[in-house]
């Protein structure tokens, strides 16, 4: 009996090989038959679609028409059974499956096993929602490029990968956070230790410099430089450096053997000759290379950064209202109280006069030079903005306001002009490069009182406005409100009105100026119809802290950085300027004639003769007015070191260790 069975198997094998050999493409025919064999060598049911996927796995894809032709041929040859109600075909005999299985190579068997594993896993997923594990995916990965999975099997594999990857990312994130936390913990300990030891070293160096100053100012300065080099951000180091520097400077003169002359070190910094009349105002040019201002006798002057006069202007019987230096440093505009302005070049040549509307409150920006130095914008006498080129030709009239204009401002990129008016509005004008003219771009109507100022942010994306309604607001250039701040009228400062708000300190702070009148806080003219004398106070707003300054008010106040609604925190200190580059504040005590320089943490650094301090654009110097003269004080550590070490304003300093015995 067994011999007969063996004979039948051999006959089926011979028959199978004979039929495959008669095909036009025997390899394709054999590949199709292999699809009907399981990994265990038994027959299995399969659809034509599954055969096509199988063919791709074996690297011999077959088109549906050719497959149907081969399947039907095998059915007629009684190798396959015809399809059932589920469109599945299968081999007629297990003996055929065994013979076909013998023809499957080792690599093909491995592919079949992997594919069968995925199919079984997918069936388990359908029942129990179990995805492939990370170990399963590692097993599949070796064969993945040869499997050509599609449909549900591919989606199943992709989803398994996605879940595993999510778990891996979560684990890595937790690991990184843990490592970072541990590093931060160690860093915190290190920083604390470093700061503790660093502060101790700084205090020792500071004390050493202080004691040395009585014996040798040169040695004291050297110790101060060493302390500053340890930590350039330290307020203590800044204090010691600046004071030791000015001790050297106050020794006044020294003998220079190379030139056989007596040298005054301060004159190497700023050689300014006092005048007979008091100076009213002095400011730096935008690039810090020039200083300009005017005197009580209405003489307008320009000096270079060393204090040398380069321009002097005086028109008899005219009182100066404001002065503006063009950004190209080649032209200067002066506005007088007769509503006439004049533009001069720095060769003392008057170029042209122009009419201008002045107001009784603040005239600082009734004119403004364009950043490119080509245009002058003027608050016209007909409620319009008049644009002049610097030859005095009228370029354009911008009409749109229905009341007088109080303030003009060019954007930093030269594309926009903003005008603030008594009609409670601000108009934004935009330059059209095709017509070479300005046209109305947007309008702000959000204030309830006269608008006193309008200033662009440094990035030119928003506009800051201030109004008599005691509000300041930030708007985008479409005239849409972004932020509004209301001042509390319960305090003395806020019972008046606001006449200016401007971005300062690289847009880190907002400087707000308020004004009021001792005669009538609601009117701008006294009983005789003459402009009243206003008093001005300013508030610097930054991160919720408010600093108040007054230029002429009887009650000069400084609001230290505490909750601003606590009146008890007011102090009688006149705050005057701030530089974020040197991280310093400059203050003037009420009624005093000196300026106090503070670090940003309010540590007193140094007092200087003079008032109305202004920091240079680079934050290196502080300019003060001392009656009839200007004083320029180096205040940054970098500038002080450069003057002493590179410029050698003190000559060659003599650091003698014998002047100092550490044991004393």
Please report, to the nearest 10 degrees, the dihedral formed by the alpha carbons of residues 647, 650, 654, 655 taken in order. -70
533 band by pLDDT with thresholds 50, 70 and 90: low
Gap between the Cα atoms of 383 and 110, Å rounded: 91
pLDDT, tens digit, for every residue of 221-253?
Answer: 888 888 888 888 888 888 888 998 998 888 767
Average pLDDT value for the chain: 79
pLDDT exceeds 70 at position 20: yes
Using DSSP's 3-state secondary structure scheme, residue 122 falls into helix
* CA–CA distance, 664 with 655 (Å, rounded to integer): 18
Domain 2-150 indexed as CATH 1.10.10: yes
Q: Which pLDDT score is estimated for 376?
A: 96
Q: What is the pLDDT of residue 535?
A: 58
pLDDT of residue 59: 66
Q: Given a cut of 90, is residue 155 above it in pLDDT?
A: no
Q: Do the Cβ atoms of 500 and 452 come closer than 8 Å?
A: yes
> Angle CA(594)–CA(597)–CA(602) in degrees, nearest 5?
130
CA distances from 648 to 50, 212, 243, 263, 306 (A): 90, 21, 18, 12, 16
Position 644 pLDDT exceeds 60? yes
Residue with tokens 């009684």: 78
In this prediction, residue 563 carries a pLDDT of 35
DSSP 491: S
Q: Is 210 helix (H, G, I), strand (E, B) or coil?
A: helix
Is pLDDT of 268 > 80? Answer: yes
Cα–Cα dist 95/80, whole Å: 12
Neighbours of 158 (CB within 10 A): 11
3-7, 186-190, 356-360, 588-592, range with greatest mean pLDDT: 356-360
> Residue range 501-528: average pLDDT?
62
The mean per-residue pLDDT over the stretch 177-196 comes to 67
**What's the pLDDT tens digit per position in 452-511?**
999 998 888 899 999 988 888 889 988 888 887 776 554 444 455 778 888 876 777 777
pLDDT tens profile 67-110: 788 888 888 888 888 888 888 888 888 778 787 877 777 767 77
Segment among 19-23, 574-578, 622-626 with least mean pLDDT: 574-578
Nearest Cα to 94, choosing from 79, 83, 107?
A: 79
Closest CA relative to residue 491, chosen from 447, 555, 540: 555
φ/ψ (deg, to 5) at 405: -95, 135
The per-residue pLDDT for 321 is 93
State residue 392's pLDDT score: 94
Asked if pLDDT for residue 567 goes beyond 60, the answer is no
Q: Show me where the domains of the chain are located.
A: 2-150, 151-274+637-664
Res 340: pLDDT: 95
pLDDT tens for residues 246-263? 988 887 676 666 677 777
pLDDT at 207: 54
Percentages of the chain per state (helix, strand, coil), in multiples of 5 = 30, 30, 35
Is the confidence at residue 305, as pLDDT, over 90?
yes
What is the Cα–Cα distance from 360 to 524, expressed in whole angstroms? 7
Residue 190 pLDDT greater than 50, yes or no: yes
How high is the pLDDT of residue 10? 66
Burial class (CB in 10 A: 0-12, 13-18, 19+), 533: exposed
As a whole number of angstroms, the distance between CA 524 and CA 489 comes to: 19
Q: Is the pLDDT of residue 2 over 50?
A: no
* Residue 420: closest CA among 374, 460, 375, 364: 364
- The pLDDT, as a whole number, for residue 458 is 87
Band of pLDDT at residue 547, cut at 50, 70 and 90: very low
**Average pLDDT over every residue of 322-343:** 94
Give 633's strand partners. Answer: 622
């Amino acid at each position: 009996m067994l011999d007969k069975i063996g004979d039948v198997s051999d006959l089926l094998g011979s028959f199978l090989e004979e039929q495959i050999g008669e095909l036009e493409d025997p390899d394709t025919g054999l590949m199709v038959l292999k699809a009907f064999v399981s990994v265990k060598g038994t027959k299995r049911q399969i659809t034509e679609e599954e055969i096509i996927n199988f063919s791709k796995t074996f690297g011999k894809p077959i088109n549906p028409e050719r497959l149907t032709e081969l399947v039907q041929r095998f059915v007629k040859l009684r190798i396959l059974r015809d399809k059932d109600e589920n469109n599945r075909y299968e081999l007629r005999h297990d003996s055929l499956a065994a013979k076909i299985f013998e023809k499957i190579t080792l690599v093909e068997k491995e592919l079949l096993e992997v594919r069968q594993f995925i199919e079984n896993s997918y069936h388990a997923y359908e029942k129990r929602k179990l995805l492939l594990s990370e170990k399963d995916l590692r097993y599949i990965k070796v064969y993945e490029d040869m499997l050509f999975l599609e449909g549900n099997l591919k989606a199943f594999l992709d989803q398994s990968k996605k879940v595993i990857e999510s778990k891996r990312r979560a684990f890595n994130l937790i690991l990184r956070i843990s490592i970072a936390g541990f590093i931060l913990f160690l860093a915190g300990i290190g920083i604390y230790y470093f700061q503790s030891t660093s502060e101790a070293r700084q205090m020792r160096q500071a004390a050493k410099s202080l004691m040395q100053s009585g014996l040798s100012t040169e040695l004291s300065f050297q110790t101060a430089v060493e302390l500053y080099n340890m930590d350039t951000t330290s307020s203590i180091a800044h204090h010691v450096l600046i004071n030791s520097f000015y001790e050297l400077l106050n020794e006044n003169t020294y003998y220079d053997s190379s030139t056989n002359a007596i040298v005054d070190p301060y004159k190497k910094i700023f050689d300014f000759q006092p005048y007979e009349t008091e100076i009213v105002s002095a400011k730096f040019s935008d690039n810090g290379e020039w200083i300009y201002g005017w005197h009580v006798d209405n003489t307008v002057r320009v000096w270079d950064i060393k204090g040398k006069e380069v321009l002097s202007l005086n028109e008899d019987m005219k009182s100066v209202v404001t002065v503006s230096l063009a950004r190209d440093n080649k032209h200067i505009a002066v506005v007088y109280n007769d509503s006439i302005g004049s533009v001069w070049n720095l060769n003392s040549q008057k170029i042209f006069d122009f009419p201008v509307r002045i107001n009784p409150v603040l005239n600082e920006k009734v004119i403004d030079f364009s950043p490119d130095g080509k245009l002058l914008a003027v608050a016209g006498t007909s409620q319009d903005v008049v644009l002049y080129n610097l030859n005095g030709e009228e370029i354009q009239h911008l009409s749109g306001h229905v009341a007088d204009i109080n303030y003009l401002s060019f954007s930093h990129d030269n594309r926009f002009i903003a005008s603030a008016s008594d009609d409670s509005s601000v108009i934004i004008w935009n330059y059209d490069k095709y017509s070479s003219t300005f046209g109305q771009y947007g309008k702000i109507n959000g204030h309830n009182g006269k608008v006193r100022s309008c200033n662009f942010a440094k990035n030119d994306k928003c506009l800051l406005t201030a109004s008599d309604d005691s509000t300041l607001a930030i708007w985008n250039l479409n005239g849409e409100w972004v932020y509004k701040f209301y001042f509390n009228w319960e305090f003395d400062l806020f019972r008046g009105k606001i006449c200016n708000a401007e971005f300062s300190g690289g847009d880190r702070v907002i400087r707000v100026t308020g004004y009021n009148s001792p005669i009538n806080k609601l009117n701008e003219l006294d009983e005789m119809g003459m402009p009243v004398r206003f008093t001005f106070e300013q508030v610097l707003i930054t991160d919720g802290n408010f600093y108040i300054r007054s230029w002429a008010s009887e009650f000069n106040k400084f609001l230290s950085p505490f909750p601003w609604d606590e009146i008890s925190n007011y102090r009688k200190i006149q705050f005057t300027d701030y530089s974020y580059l040197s991280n310093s504040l400059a203050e003037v005590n009420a009624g005093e004639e000196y300026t106090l320089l503070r670090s940003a943490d309010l540590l007193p650094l140094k007092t200087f003769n003079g008032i109305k301090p202004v920091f240079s654009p680079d934050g290196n110097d502080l300019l003060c007015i001392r009656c009839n003269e200007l004083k320029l004080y180096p205040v940054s550590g970098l500038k002080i070191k450069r003057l002493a070490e590179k410029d050698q304003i003190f000559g060659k300093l003599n650091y003698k260790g014998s002047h100092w015995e550490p044991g004393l």
